Amino acid sequence: MFGRKIKILSLAVLLLCSSGKLFALEEYVSDIYQQIDTCFSAKDDSKLNSILSRNTKDRYYYLMENYTQKKIRRLIVNNDYDFAMSATLVLIENNLDNEEAVEMYSVISDAYEIQRKHEAEREHQRQLELARIEMEKEKQRSNVEKEYVAATKTSTGSVYVSGKETKLTSTNWLLKLGMADIAYLMDKGSEINSFHYGICLDFDYEYTMENKNVLGIDAFAGAQFLTIPVEEEKMVPLLGDFEAALKYSFANISKNLFIRAGFGAVITGKSDTAPLTETVVGNFFSPFIGIKMGNLSLGSLKLDIGADWLAGHLFYQNIKMAAGFAMNMAIPFAELEKVKLNFNIGLRDKFFLKNDGMENRASVILAIGVENVIR
């Protein structure tokens, strides 16, 4: 009985000593683990190498290696290949026989190369997208600079304002080809009423100055060379109308109101076999002044209307007064990159008050117009 008690007491002492050593081992290894955790948190491979190198002769070094490898695997899962490779090299340098570390380094190297290529491709695509966006910005900036004016400069670039809100210099032109210029000649004195067909050409140019005033040119040339049959003694085989004028508008009054001054000619081709055309005004040359309302917007339509006083009547004894009138309605139907096309319906009239009555020459014009585009 006494011998049995001695055995139990000896076993208890042995177990107590063993558990003390076990607890001491756990505390020692736990401290090393904490140091390794600190290295991985700071990604300090030099400190990690210092910890492992001074414990390579420790009988429990394999536990430190295993824990370090566990930390490396977690880095791989998180795609943190840079420090994973550095930490693996530390393991290999401190234990060349660690085959698992060597294999791990090879795997990490392959994965890192794949990631590097993937990131390089993503960066390449990002650069291409940035280049595309920059090209689009340059294209938009080019369009903005055509339509707007850089008013101020800032540290981040230019501030643009609408040309309507700042001084602007621009040009605008419009060319119209009248494919049908149908004139009606009416002379009270000779009782002539005749229709004539012809073509015409009309050109309008405007230059907007820095003070927003507009200087422009109007030019017109038309001829009616085909007469709808009438009695031969009342035949007028040719009618012509030509004019050129300077125009000017004051922005502080109205950009659409122009004062015009120019020179014009009315041509009449009389026939020797038509004695009743004697009273019809022959060739008439005259300076003129007038007013014009131009570029009036009616929705998408544009209206021009004007009237002139023909001063040439002062030099013709049988003409008491002469005047001209013109109107045009432009209907747009197509716009290209640099020009836009429109259909025009126009009306022109020359009026003469004579000693022996009144004469009127009215024309209806159907024309195709080409106009520059201001962006």
The pLDDT, as a whole number, for residue 257 is 95
| pLDDT beyond 50 at 12 | no
**Share of residues in the chain with pLDDT > 90 (%):** 38
What is the mean pLDDT of the segment spanning 229-250?
87
Task: Give me the CATH number covering residue 318.
Answer: 2.40.128
Residues 111 and 172 in one domain: no
Range in 35-39, 203-207, 318-322 the model is least confident about: 35-39
Q: Is residue 288 domain-resident?
A: yes
| Angle, vertex CA 208, rays to CA 202 and CA 209, nearest 5 | 140
pTM: 0.56
Residues 115 and 9 in one domain: yes
Q: Give pLDDT tens digits for 51-69.
A: 888 888 888 888 888 898 8
Q: Is residue 145 domain-resident?
A: no
Residues 190 and 98 in one domain: no
How far apart, in whole angstroms, are the C-alpha atoms of residue 332 and residue 344?
9
How far apart, in whole angstroms, are the C-alpha atoms of residue 333 and residue 186?
35
Structural domain containing residue 337: 168-372
Residues 67 and 204 in one domain: no
Q: Which residues contact 324 (CB under 8 A, 6 or more apart)?
A: 243, 264, 288, 290, 307, 308, 310, 348, 349, 350, 351
End residue of a domain, out of 93, 119, 145:
119
Q: Is residue 139 domain-resident?
A: no
The pLDDT, as a whole number, for residue 166 is 44
Residues 183 and 292 in one domain: yes
Residues 107 and 223 in one domain: no
Residues 244 and 352 in one domain: yes
Q: Is residue 73 domain-resident?
A: yes
Q: Is residue 160 domain-resident?
A: no
Q: Is residue 136 domain-resident?
A: no
Q: Give pLDDT tens digits for 317-363.
A: 999 999 999 999 999 999 888 899 999 999 999 999 998 889 999 99
From the centroid of its chain, how far is CA 4? 103
How far apart, in whole angstroms, are the C-alpha atoms of residue 259 and residue 247?
5
For 182, other C-beta atoms within 10 Å of its C-beta total: 17
Residues 69 and 197 in one domain: no
**Where do we find the tokens 């291409």?**
128
The pLDDT, as a whole number, for residue 65 is 87
Q: Is residue 132 domain-resident?
A: no
Q: Is residue 141 domain-resident?
A: no
Burial class (CB in 10 A: 0-12, 13-18, 19+), 351: middle
Residues 55 and 175 in one domain: no
Higher pLDDT, 144 or 73: 73
For 328, other C-beta atoms within 10 Å of its C-beta total: 22
**Band of residue 158 on the pLDDT scale cut at 50, 70, 90:** low
End residue of a domain, out of 119, 152, 185:
119
Residues 215 and 337 in one domain: yes
Residues 191 and 111 in one domain: no
Q: How many domains does the chain have?
A: 2
Residues 258 and 366 in one domain: yes
The pLDDT, as a whole number, for residue 152 is 46
The pLDDT, as a whole number, for residue 320 is 94
End residue of a domain, out of 62, 94, 119:
119
Q: Give pLDDT tens digits for 92-130.
A: 888 888 888 888 888 887 877 887 888 888 888 889 899
